[in-house]
């Protein structure tokens, strides 16, 4: 019934094919944006804002669950067998695994009752996602956002509108243009061909695999021959994101300040793409071996990142001591100024550190802050005049 309903919408309902194509491709674009957002947070150290980071990962998990339930609903050949494989994972739970599986299925196997339950979950989850989304924004509003330089920006804030809104609008319009192009010309480019065939309970597909945004986790699952070990490793591939803030040992705020860490990060991104490709292939050589090696590097990246940070901090500290010949804090030698060069009178002006007339005057700085997009407003002065 579900498969025939989807087929009716596509063939008989006016613009039904466009609505389904929009629904499918928006989900794919959303995951692409989520992965880019997470990678950006890793690169620039945004996970140091712990509550913002954790709420974002919870949001990511909810979106993944919503996408999986939506993938099953068309009840095509690949949808049914993907539901069969994924839902049977709960049987690996000791003692109560079988009972939990029967509760999820609504019977002794995946069937129509399972489909109804998944539809209910798929309908309710967006409301939970919306609530977590506003919680995520609230945490972001309280703590503020990071920046590529990883410096404290409380002293030089800019208004969200129109500085950020205009910039973000350009990206949104570009994404919408690409989305409309895909819906008009390639609406089902990212849909598995077997999902256009009604599910057959007696015919198992030669290769069962999820959508592209789950392929990296599926490759990790297959890399371990043991069922329980593979499931735990697959779950760990997401859960490890919760502990990243505890693994950060660097003195500076983001990977952008560490040369070797940048290389390591981009190797990890390439490894993620390799896992995605391996997950779409069969369990044959050389894909099986590539999946094992890529899985090992995926998890080794996180502790290895701390080791490389420690090494780079040590190198920077050593270079600063040798080049300056003085034993003061290495961060000041790289990014700051010597305290003995300051005048007796405390000075928070732009000429701090004996730079003289190389920087703008106090009056020029205050006039600049009155302009858009800074717009500090009124006659308030945030810099101390001499």
Query: What's residue 383's pLDDT?
Result: 43
98-146 pLDDT per residue, tens: 888 888 888 888 888 888 899 999 999 999 999 999 999 898 888 777 6
Residue 145 is among the residues annotated as catalytic for this protein? yes
Q: What is the mean pLDDT of residues 207-225?
A: 88
pTM of the model: 0.79
**pLDDT of 147 above 60:** yes
Query: What's residue 318's pLDDT?
Result: 80
Q: Which of 29-33, 59-63, 231-235, 256-260 has the lowest mean pLDDT?
A: 256-260
**pLDDT of 282 above 60:** yes
Kindly name the residue from 5, 120, 143, 145 that is annotated as catalytic.
Answer: 145
Domain 1-148+162-206 fold is Cytochrome Bc1 Complex; Chain C (1.20.810)
pLDDT-based confidence at residue 355 (cuts at 50, 70, 90): very low
Contact between residue 57 and residue 242 where contact means Cβ atoms under 8 Å apart = yes
Kindly name the residue from 141, 227, 338, 384 that is annotated as catalytic.
Answer: 141
Q: What is the mean pLDDT of residues 306-328?
A: 73
Straight-line distance from the first to the last Cα atom of the chain, in angstroms, rounded to the nearest whole number: 79
Query: What's residue 373's pLDDT?
Result: 46
Domain edges within the chain: 1-148+162-206, 209-324
Kindly name the residue from 12, 154, 161, 167 that is annotated as catalytic.
Answer: 167
Query: What's residue 270's pLDDT?
Result: 95
- For residue 172, list its beta bridge partners: none
Query: What's residue 220's pLDDT?
Result: 92
Task: Specify the higher pLDDT residue, 29 or 344.
Answer: 29
Structure tokens at 331: 């961060």
Task: Specify the higher pLDDT residue, 164 or 331.
Answer: 164
Kindly name the residue from 99, 168, 341, 363 that is annotated as catalytic.
Answer: 168
369-381 pLDDT per residue, tens: 555 444 444 444 4
Query: What's residue 251's pLDDT?
Result: 77
Q: What is the mean pLDDT of residues 236-252?
A: 86
Classify 198 as helix, strand or coil. Answer: strand
Query: What's residue 381's pLDDT?
Result: 41
Contact between residue 47 and residue 11 where contact means Cβ atoms under 8 Å apart = no
Q: Percentage of residues in the chain with pLDDT exceeding 70?
A: 79
Residue 79 is among the residues annotated as catalytic for this protein? no
Query: What's residue 227's pLDDT?
Result: 81
Kindly name the residue from 211, 253, 312, 313 that is annotated as catalytic.
Answer: 211
Mean pLDDT of the chain: 80
Residue 42 CB neighbour total at 10 angstroms: 21
Quick one: how far is CA 205 from the chain centroid? 31
Distance, CA of 89 to CA of 293 (rounded, Å): 23
Residue 122 is among the residues annotated as catalytic for this protein? no
**pLDDT of 24 above 70:** yes
Listed ranges 160-164, 284-288, 352-356; the one with the highest mean pLDDT: 284-288
pLDDT-based confidence at residue 84 (cuts at 50, 70, 90): confident
**Top-level CATH class of 209-324?**
mainly alpha
Query: Quick one: DSSP state of residue 351?
Result: T
Three-class DSSP labels, 292-304? HHHHHHHHHHHHH
Of the candidates 257, 353, 262, the residue with the CA atom closest to the CA atom of residue 301: 262
Residue 141 is among the residues annotated as catalytic for this protein? yes
């Amino acid at each position: 019934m579900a498969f025939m309903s989807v087929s009716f919408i596509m063939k008989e309902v006016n613009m039904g094919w466009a609505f389904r194509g929009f629904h499918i491709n928006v989900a794919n674009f959303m995951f692409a944006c989520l992965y880019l957002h997470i990678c950006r947070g890793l690169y620039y150290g945004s996970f140091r804002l712990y509550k913002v980071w954790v709420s974002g990962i919870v949001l990511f998990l909810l979106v993944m669950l919503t996408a999986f339930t939506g993938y099953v609903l068309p009840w095509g050949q690949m949808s049914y067998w993907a539901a069969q494989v994924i839902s049977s994972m709960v049987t690996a739970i000791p003692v109560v695994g079988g009972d939990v599986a029967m509760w999820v299925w609504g019977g002794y196997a995946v069937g129509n009752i399972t489909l109804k339950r998944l539809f209910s979950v798929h309908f309710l989850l967006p409301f939970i996602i919306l609530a977590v989304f506003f919680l995520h924004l609230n945490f972001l509003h309280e703590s503020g956002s990071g920046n590529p330089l990883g410096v404290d920006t409380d002293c030089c804030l800019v208004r969200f509108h129109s500085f950020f809104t205009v910039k973000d609008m350009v990206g949104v319009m570009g994404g919408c243009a690409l989305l409309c192009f895909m819906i008009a010309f390639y609406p089902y480019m990212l849909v598995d061909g077997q999902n256009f065939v009604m599910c057959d309970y007696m015919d198992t597909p030669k290769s069962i695999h999820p959508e592209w945004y789950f392929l990296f986790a599926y490759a990790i699952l297959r890399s371990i021959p043991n069922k329980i070990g593979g499931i735990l490793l697959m779950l760990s591939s997401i859960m490890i994101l919760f502990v990243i803030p505890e693994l950060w040992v660097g003195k500076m705020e983001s990977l952008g300040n560490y040369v070797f860490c940048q290389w390591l990060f981009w190797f990890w991104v390439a490894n993620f793409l390799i896992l995605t490709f391996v997950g779409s292939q069969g369990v044959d050589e050389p894909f099986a071996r590539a999946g094992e090696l890529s899985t090992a590097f995926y998890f080794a990246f996180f502790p290895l990142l701390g080791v490389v940070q420690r090494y780079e901090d040590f190198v920077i500290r050593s270079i600063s001591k040798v080049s300056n010949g003085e034993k003061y804090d290495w961060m000041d030698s790289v990014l700051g100024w010597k305290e003995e060069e300051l005048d007796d009178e405390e000075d928070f002006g732009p000429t701090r550190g004996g730079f003289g007339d190389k920087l703008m005057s106090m009056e020029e700085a205050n006039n600049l802050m009155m302009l858009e997009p800074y717009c500090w407003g009124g006659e308030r002065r945030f810099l101390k005049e001499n």
